[in-house]
Amino acid sequence: MAALQTPPAIQRSLFFSLTCSSSSQHHKNLVFKGRKGFQFHVRAAASPPAQQDRSGRRQILVAGVIASSMSVSLPESASFAAEAKKGFLAVTDRKDGYSFLYPFGWQEVVIQGQDKVFKDVIEPLESVSVNTVATSKGDIRDLGSPQEVAETLIKKVLAPPSQKTKLVEASEHDVDGKTYYTFEFIAQAPNFTRHALGTVTIGNGKFYTLTTGANERRWEKMKDKLHTVIDSFKTFVV
């Protein structure tokens, strides 16, 4: 099987996103962004009783204007939210050429070396991350079988050497003529066990990796949602 070349900085960032615990020391280095990529604040001022009716109407009108402007100025990826399943939000990256769904309520965080990361801030092991690495290969099958690719990624990228890992299963499927490998694995650390899913493919001169997972104790509750995330991942030509 051809070796997967992943820069050390990307490996470290993947380790961080997949192994951070719920302790506060992991949260203080995360930069949170709003799901729509912007923030706004509304401050209410007290009005005399005689002006309450007029101010109430004015607030309704202002709210309508804000809502209209938001619908026009949101990033293009937000327009895909209508296509998302109930309980999920959609992300489309038109620069790198991919899209996926993530559970409503997860927050976007910025982690160096990662293209996109969304996670539950209360259960930090519940997350999804996307990474891209340049490659000269034209098809994921050029790197080997689903089992070979999955085992290499798990051991060299998706879990640090200190964790005991197990590949549960790996498979191949085609979407619109493009081949994707999907796999399930478990990574056991001294203080937690993460049950995770991954999917990989090649396109646009990039090797795409999406991984998502949860604490083992919450796997049964989260597995259907995580499978929805994995199944939603698609790449397109840019």
3-state secondary structure 195-213: EEEEEEEEECCEEEEEEEE
pTM of the prediction?
0.69
Q: Which residue has the higher pLDDT, 174 or 83?
A: 174
The separation between the first and the last C-alpha atoms of the chain, rounded to the nearest angstrom, is 28
Supply the pLDDT for residue 125: 96
Q: Please state, rounded to an integer, the average pLDDT across all residues of the chain.
A: 77
Question: So what's the pLDDT on residue 47?
Answer: 41
pLDDT at 145 over 50: yes
Q: What is the pLDDT of residue 9?
A: 44
User: For residue 73, what pLDDT is reported?
Assistant: 32
Q: What is the structure's pLDDT at 177?
A: 92
pLDDT tens digits, one per residue of 180-206? 999 999 999 999 999 999 999 999 999
Q: Can you give the pLDDT at residue 85?
A: 87
Domains annotated on the chain, with CATH:
8-33+76-235 (3.40.1000.10)
Min mean pLDDT across 32-41, 108-117, 137-146, 150-159 is at 32-41
**HSE, side-chain direction, 13 A CA sphere, residue 92:** 15
What pLDDT is recorded for position 202? 98
Q: Percentage of the chain with pLDDT > 90?
A: 63
pLDDT greater than 90 at residue 57: no
Q: What is the CB neighbour count within 10 angstroms for residue 35?
A: 16
Helix (H, G, I), strand (E, B) or coil at 42: coil
Confidence band for 56, pLDDT divided at 50, 70 and 90: very low
Sheet holding 234-235, edge to edge: 88-93, 98-103, 234-235
Q: Which of 41-45, 62-66, 172-176 has the highest mean pLDDT?
A: 172-176
